[in-house]
Amino acid sequence: MSFGPQDIAHLPGGAMLLISFILLHRRRVVAAIDAFALQGAMLALAAAWQGWVQGAPQLYLVALIEAGAKAVVFPIALRRLSRRSGEQPVAEATGGVGLGLAAGIALVGLAVLLVQPIGAAGRIVTREDLVPALSILLLGLLLMVLRRDAVLQLVGLMSLESGAILAAVSLADMPLVPLLSTAGLMLLGVVLAGAFFRDGGRFVPDGEGG
């Protein structure tokens, strides 16, 4: 049984999946934002490691962009948004945390079932990369459905996009990845800016918001 660089590449993906469950579990908004920042850092690590394994320098750029946006800029902005919008520090979860976690486990099972036939052609590595990516995407979707808090819905959307980017960086020779990653982050940035403008249709300067 051998253990190679590609196996290490599964570690950040697995960590991201674990953090997706933490996001489902955390009811405190600030704690969820911190977990999301860690997930962003893991995504950057996954992209950088894949860049080294695949010999694809453009993935280092993706790692840099994702780290800057999802581990630093977005979490800071989400914290400010949470403070300004005056949302409850403890978010309401539809159906309770336990039900959310159970649904999350079911979705991971679904991801395994959906991806299983793809590896049949002999590319087992692909399947192992794809299961965490699809699971993270589905758990992000679940977070958006279960949480009514705008900040956590945004975290869900960003986590969903992280799953898609994880799949893109894991796939050798995937073209346009830096462009796709930048465009995805641009869209998330606009959604985030839109959340700032939501309150009364105008940007609420620091200190004025509830």
Planar angle of CA 91, 93, 94, nearest 5 degrees = 145
The DSSP annotation for 6-17 comes to: HHHHHHHHHHHH
Which of 127, 129, 123 has its CA nearest to residue 6? 129
Q: Per this entry, what is the length of the chain?
A: 210
Burial zone of 158 (CB within 10 Å; 0-12 exposed, 13-18 middle, 19+ buried): buried
Interface contacts to another protein, rule CB under 8 A: 114-115, 117-118, 120-121, 123, 126, 130, 133-134, 137, 140-141, 144, 153-154, 157, 160-161, 163-165, 167-168, 171-176, 179-180, 183-184, 186-188, 190-191, 194-195, 197-198, 200-202
Shortest CB 129 distance to another protein, Å: 9
Taking the complex as a whole, how short is the minimal distance between the CB of residue 1 and another protein, in angstroms?
Answer: 25
Query: Minimum CB separation from another protein for residue 186, in Å?
Result: 7
Instruction: Evaluate whether 83 touches 46 at the Cβ level (below 8 Å).
Output: no
- Report the residue number, 76 or 190, with the smaller CB distance to another protein: 190
Residue 1 half-sphere exposure toward CB, CA atoms < 13 A: 1
Nearer to another protein, 86 or 194 (CB): 194
> Is 15 or 195 the residue whose CB approaches another protein more closely?
195
Closer residue to another protein (CB): 98 or 176? 176
CA distance linking residue 185 with residue 141, whole number of Å: 17
Least distance between another protein and beta carbon 156 (Å): 9
Q: How far is the CB of 159 from another protein (least distance, A)?
A: 9
User: Which residues have C-beta within 8 Å of that of residue 102, sequence separation ≥ 6?
Assistant: none
Closer CB to another protein, 106 or 113, in the complex: 113
| Residue 147 backbone phi and psi in degrees, to 5 | -100, 135
